[in-house]
Amino acid sequence: MLAAMSLDFESTLIRRGMQATTISEMTRFVTTIEDRPLDKLLCDLPGCALLSETKFSLARAVLRRRVRELDEVDRQQLRCFAFEIASETEPDVAERIRTLF
């Protein structure tokens, strides 16, 4: 599955996160995370991990809430995919990705 996913550091989500400075822009960033399909969100994890601590914390809170709503099997599968993505990144980025779960 990883071969089919391309890591896009310039996705709409990442661009929105990098550019968000006002409350309304942060709100749009969070809404984008809430609305984004989970498979696309997985591809965006390395980019999210490079955002500021505040923006990453927002992303983490939204993602954790979304993951809690899944069945246990789906949660574990998502976690495995995320850890696989983390294993292909720099150590500091990988650690941030792992803290999501």
- DSSP letter at 7 equals -
The pLDDT tens digits of the residues spanning 15-45 come to 999 999 999 999 999 999 999 999 999 999 9
CB-based contacts of 32: which residues, under 8 Å, 6+ apart?
12, 13, 16
Quick one: which of 89, 86, 90 has its CA closest to 101? 86
Q: What is the pTM of this model?
A: 0.81
DSSP, collapsed to helix, strand or coil, labels residue 64 as helix
| Cα(95)–Cα(56) distance, integer angstroms | 13
How much of the chain, in percent, has pLDDT values that exceed 90?
A: 85
